[in-house]
């Protein structure tokens, strides 16, 4: 099952990228999580962080094994969200924030293994 957001725009700066994402209701990851009240699963949020960081910040990692995430607000189908990724190469850390407008939906960090 491939579940990927629609990337509307990308704004890159040194060590950072901000992506505008559309999350249509027909994304497979919304099915069954939870019946009658679909939300974007946390595991999918981490997966997107890892995939989009590899694509836009060239900090490839086979998987997220050491991560922290704090959920503040659910991300529902048909949402438009902003994902900001910040790569701190010296600290081997990838910080991320998902926002709906000005409101933080979730945020966290992934520790990247040494190359």
How do residues 40-79 score in pLDDT, each as one tens digit? 999 999 999 999 999 999 887 776 678 899 999 999 999 9
Specify the number of domains making up the chain. 1
CA distance 6 to 106: 19
CA distance 51 to 2: 12
In a domain, 1, yes or no: no
Domain limits for position 89: 6-111
- CATH number, domain containing residue 57: 3.10.129.10
| Local confidence band at 35 (pLDDT 50, 70, 90 cut-offs) | confident
Scan for tokens 């701190």, then name that residue. Answer: 88
Q: pTM for the full model?
A: 0.92
Phi, psi of 113 (to 5 degrees): -75, 160
| Strand order from edge to edge, sheet including 16-23 | 6-13, 16-23, 79-88, 93-100, 103-111, 67-71
């Amino acid at each position: 099952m491939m579940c990927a957001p629609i990337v509307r725009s990308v704004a890159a700066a040194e060590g950072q990228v901000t992506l505008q994402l559309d999350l249509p209701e027909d994304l497979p990851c919304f099915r069954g999580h939870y019946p009658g009240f679909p939300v974007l699963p946390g595991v999918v949020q981490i997966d997107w962080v890892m995939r989009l960081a590899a694509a836009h910040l060239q900090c490839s990692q086979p998987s997220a094994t050491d991560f922290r995430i704090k959920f503040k607000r659910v991300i529902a189908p048909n949402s438009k969200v902003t994902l900001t990724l910040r790569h701190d190469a010296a600290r081997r850390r990838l910080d991320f924030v998902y926002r709906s407008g000005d409101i933080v939906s979730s945020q966290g960090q992934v520790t990247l293994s040494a190359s």
